[in-house]
Chain A
Amino acid sequence: MSKYTEDDLEQELKTKEYKYGFYTEIESETFAKGLSEEVVIAISKKKNEPDWMTDWRLEAYRVWKTMKEPEWANVHYEKPKFQEIAYYSAPKAKPKLNSLDEVDPELLDTFKRLGISLDEQKKLANVAVDIVIDSVSVATTFKKSLGEKGIIFMPISEAIQEHPELVRKYLGTVIPTTDNFYAALNSAVFSDGSFCYIPKGVRCPMELSTYFRINEGGTGQFERTLVVADKGSYVSYLEGCTAPSRDENQLHAAVVELIAMDDAEIKYSTVQNWYPGNKEGKGGVYNFVTKRALCETNAKVSWTQVETGSAITWKYPSCILKGNNSVGEFYSIAVTNNHQQADTGTKMIHLGKNTRSTIISKGISAGKSQNSYRGLVQISPRAENARNFSQCDSLLMGNDCGAHTFPYIEVKNKTAQIEHEATTSKIGEEQLFYCNQRGIDTEKAIALIVNGFSKEVLNNLPMEFAVEAQKLLEISLEGSVG
């Protein structure tokens, strides 16, 4: 057996190319580039939206115009030119489809190459998939069986038409349009996304899932997701993405709002594998996402994320623990390679009594990448007996990458119990040697160690998704993970 050293691994990491780089040729209808009130109105018109929605977008746009891009994150990039982005792109209107057979074969082929076979998922994984290709949902499955339980799961554009009262009541309540630069931009121009409502006391029988894809060259994608879990309900929501190889930078500024009412539980899992740019750091997706959950009494929200893609990631899924006894969890694996930069973490805002939060963050950096954890744990004066446990571990591969930790801990109540710990290490020579001694080759050994390192997070993914997540981890650190 030839000796496999870390240098070899580094070499492999350097030369590895994005596997999912392809471009589906579908006729698209794209707006001219640029953003103005007219464009916002046009998007709203195109979607056939009611007036309140148009006004809501315009208000967000006006706020956005006065805002500046945030610069505090530990990432460096050429700022997107907001007037050179087309803000709407949709596959040309096609008749509504009732079964997969009616879907464009070219599209189906795309999914096959991505490893998402709808039929297979329908049968084996028991997953309802709401596929989004460039902002407009083209296929929704399992809608019927969900409907029987009273669960609403549909593209948000349809929800605005069919359930305006629900959307209007909750949209923007967790993340106001004025929240931050990218949230405001998203509010103004979002083209589509998902809306999910679980009625009182209903336990959603299957994992709800959306696959995102960026398709049309030069278009930004602005997804909007709103999940409302009514009292005592439960839902597990999956979000996953891959994007084709493109040269110009693509902007992705999504907003995800979760509302967990009394005794409700939401489990939100993400696998993100946008195009990270080539090995010189050219191209790649800018991923500026705002995700936030509101937890009422006894509610629980759990964010799990596996971040392997994007040139720039800027993402802090947060929990506002408003109700007493509410629970927030955050499990994250962030892998950066080549020239990727990630600044990700969470915010746990403890407002209610006996609120608990757990943060487990694993960062793996390789190549010339920079990986930062940035988190906030805030205990307000009235949050009696709040409890937080945070753990941030970093694994470094090679000597050109960096791992950073920026935890903010703000406590204003004496009964709070806060623990934070962080470690940074590399794969130990002894660990590898131990494996080699026992007949495990170095490549497999690295896979084993990385898997062990990430296990706490992977274990929190739903079964069907864990497989996909492991696959993405493998691709991101290809050559090292067996």
Chain B
Amino acid sequence: MELKDKLIASYVAFENDIDTSSDIHEIRSKAFQNFEGLGFPTKKLEAWKYTSLNSILKQDYSLFPNKENSIQLADVQKYFIHDIDTYKLVFIDGKYSSFLSETTHDTFDVCLMSSALAKPKYKAVIENYFNKIARKDNLTSLNTAFANEGAYIYIPRNVEVEKPIQIINFTTGSEAATMLQPRNLIVVEQNAHVQIIERHQSLTSNPVLTNAVTEIFAAKDATVDIYKIQNDHKTASLIDNSYIEQKSNSVVSVHTFSFGGNITRNNLNFYQRGEHIDSILKGITIIEGKQHVDHHTMVQHIEPNCESHQDYKGIFDERSTGVFNGKVIVNKEAQKTNAYQKNNNILVSDRATINAKPQLEIFADDVKCSHGCTIGQLDDEALFYMQQRGIPEKEGKALLMFAFANTVLESVKIPEVKQRIAKIIANKLNVKMGFEL
């Protein structure tokens, strides 16, 4: 059975199983109808011109893994940023694992989407924020239709969360193929501050398809830092849809580190609803084999005096494919906007491909908008210089590549995350170096 038909067939059972009486039911059924009409995106759609999902849609995914799967902390500890104390929200095959999680707190809410959707305590927040900015496109609608579990984070006014929150989705591989659709909601109230680390990890090489949707609301003066670490097995595919709404004076940064996975698609959308907002979108992509990473960013400047900064670096080896599609929209009212977009790529192999489409749509005249996109190689002279001084070619190349990607790493605020990424990069480049920071 086609995946689409399978999803359609299982929808009624899913709804009956959860509940059909709540307000969410209506949102779900609307989204479901939407998906039913649209189906999965094809390459004929401009937004999917360079990314085909055909190969991963062929798998016979298990939509609701039944068994309760437990995993030992020792087996998965390496996937956590474990050298610092953090809050943890851990999901195993889409189900919350209270054993691995750590959410004790009293000043803010870190809990499960399923309970947030069900309990009256959270009703006001859900009504105000749930599914408000998520786009009604095919994959987001699909996620909304099956929205049930995921992270729910609510940070009240003036609260500075003292340690980062990790959200980790494990797939055990107990099924031949698994499809997961986590749904996250993060609301950060006025002057609050939070750092979130997000990771999707499969524990075997059984195919996984994750279609995640995260909605983030940053109120006035809020600061939100998101780090997405994508270093999964090469059989796992990820479609990560993030929607971020910012109010005046807020600062939101999203760092995406894409090293693993089969097909990875990052849809990152920013809506600036206020003045003096800063949005930061950065990413490092280092892939090889037949991997495919597609960064699809969109920043909509709606009101005046805001800024956005984008910096994406990519290194592509073997037969990998990289896509960067960055869109900056400046509305008529958004005067004095400063929008910067940078995308630099290195092709290491003759069979690697990069498709870039940095896009500007500008309707206001008093703005400073620029984008730059380059595709090139490592500097032979720099490499020669290092070789002259006794640094072997491989290490020299790795150093140059690390330096190339470092502008993105520099702005990571958690040192342990920085170190972890540096380690993964060293691993990726097959060198035993620390890249002292």
Residues of A within 8 A of B (CB): 72, 381, 394, 396-426
Contact = CB atoms under 8 A, between A and B. Distances in A.
Interface of B is mostly: strand
B362 A410 contact: no
A425 B339 CA distance: 11
A402 B328 CA distance: 13
A409 B353 contact: no
A420 B372 contact: yes
Contact of A424 (B349, B367, B372): B367
Nearest to B329: A404
Given A407-B358, A414-B352, A424 B369 contact: yes
B354 interface: yes
Interface stretch (B135-143, B276-284, B373-381): B373-381
Contacts of A411: 345, 347, 353-356, 375
Which 9 A/B pairs are nearest by Cβ-Cβ distance? A396-B365, A414-B347, A418-B375, A409-B356, A420-B373, A405-B360, A424-B369, A426-B365, A402-B363
Contacts of B368: 423-425
Interface residues of B, number: 35
**B332, B373, B375: residue with the most chain A Cβ atoms closer than 10 Å:** B375
Nearest to A417: B376
15 contacts: A403-B362, A404-B360, A404-B361, A406-B359, A407-B357, A409-B373, A410-B353, A413-B350, A417-B375, A419-B374, A420-B356, A420-B358, A420-B371, A421-B372, A425-B367
Contact of B371 (A404, A405, A408): A405
A431 to B, nearest CB: 13
A416 B347 contact: yes
A399 B370 CA distance: 19
A405 to B, nearest CB: 4
Contact of B358 (A413, A422, A426): A422
Contact of B360 (A398, A416, A419, A422): A422
A34 to B, nearest CB: 33
A423 B369 contact: yes
**B335, B348, B363: residue with the most chain A Cβ atoms closer than 10 Å:** B363
B374 A420 contact: yes
Contacts of B372: 419-422
A396 B337 CA distance: 14
Nearest to B324: A409
B366 interface: yes
Given A407-B359, A413-B350, A426 B366 contact: yes
Given A406-B359, A409-B357, A417-B376, A381 B365 contact: no
B410 interface: no
B105 to A, nearest CB: 45
Nearest to B349: A414
Contacts of A400: 332
Interface string B365-404: 1111111111111000000000000000000000000000
Given A405-B361, A411-B355, 18 more contacts: A72-B46, A397-B365, A402-B361, A403-B360, A404-B360, A404-B361, A404-B362, A406-B357, A409-B354, A412-B351, A413-B350, A414-B349, A416-B375, A417-B377, A421-B371, A424-B362, A424-B370, A426-B365
Nearest to B364: A399
B356 A422 contact: no
Interface string B259-274: 0000000000000000
Given A411-B375, A414-B377, A381 B350 contact: yes
A2 B374 CA distance: 47
B366 A407 contact: no
B194 to A, nearest CB: 34
Contacts of A407: 356-359, 373
